[in-house]
Amino acid sequence: MKFLGIIPARYASTRFPGKPLADINGKPMIQRVYEQTLSAIKDVWVATDDVKIKEVVESFGGNVIMTSPDHQSGTDRIAEAATKIIATSSVQYDVIINIQGDEPFIQAEQIDAVKKCFSKDSTQIATLVKRISEESEIFDPNKVKAIISKDKKALYFSRSPIPYLRGIEKEAWLEKGTYYKHIGMYAYQLNVLMEVTKLEQSSLELSESLEQLRWLENGYWIQTEITEHESIGIDTPEDLERIKEMGLL
């Protein structure tokens, strides 16, 4: 099975303009994400709508492709990039992996875990979840919770605490229940990626503002794998400073 890794990178971030080019100990963020991804995937490309990002990726020897500035989601950008890359390279990829461009600490083990999901021929989409160990995360709407089946198939994602433990004080939910949070890396069978980008927004997606609910509502199978690694995304300049203070850089 042949995997293609694509890192979407936009310059015009509302909360952190120019985020992919933010300096992290002498290297732009996009370079660090790219190099981390190369440790697990042979073929890696950056998909961007900005010439400045394109030039920076080319300067460190990375693969980069320009995409439309009008995409509403990273999934749409990934689909356009995959179409162009396959057309120009004449390589037929089976699975496209979407690596977030603001996670310079992405681990090879996490990418390998997503790839492992496709050992099941029936897997259409794959993603990661991590068991929640902090009570506050259960009730944080910015931490997306996931319910999975015994065979790790995603049943639902929500910003609300799920499952709801009836008759148990909320202070005891972490002790009495099992909670998973979503780690936002996706991989798609190539044909499935092209299909889901054509779907209309669904009622569940609009309610929770979670794109993956559109796919579930339309009957697609999202296979999950459990990771022990934390997701450390950088959404704002303050996030970057906080990570520096934590000694992670």
DSSP three-state, residue 88: helix
What residue type is 83 in one-letter code?
A: T
41 and 130 belong to one structural domain: no
Q: Which two tokens stand for residue 216?
A: 């579930």
Classify residue 45: in a domain, yes or no: yes
Domain of 130, CATH number, reads 3.90.550.10
140 and 170 belong to one structural domain: yes
pLDDT of residue 247: 59
Classify residue 112: in a domain, yes or no: no
pLDDT of residue 19: 87
Q: Which domain holds residue 36?
A: 1-106
Within 60-150, where are the H helices?
Answer: 74-89, 108-116, 135-138
- Give the angle 156-95-196 at the CA atoms, nearest 5°: 50
101 and 125 belong to one structural domain: no
The rounded distance, in Å, linking the Cα atoms of 229 and 1 is 25
Binned average pLDDT, 10 residues per bin, the chain of 249 residues? 95 79 90 95 96 97 95 90 93 95 90 96 96 96 96 98 96 97 95 96 96 97 94 78 68
Q: Is the pTM of this model over 0.95?
A: no
DSSP three-state, residue 75: helix
Classify residue 116: in a domain, yes or no: no
21 and 84 belong to one structural domain: yes
pLDDT of residue 249: 56
79 and 153 belong to one structural domain: no
Question: For the segment 225-240, what is each residue's pLDDT rounded down to a tens digit?
Answer: 999 998 777 778 787 7
What residue type is 131 in one-letter code?
A: R
Domain count of the fold of the chain = 2
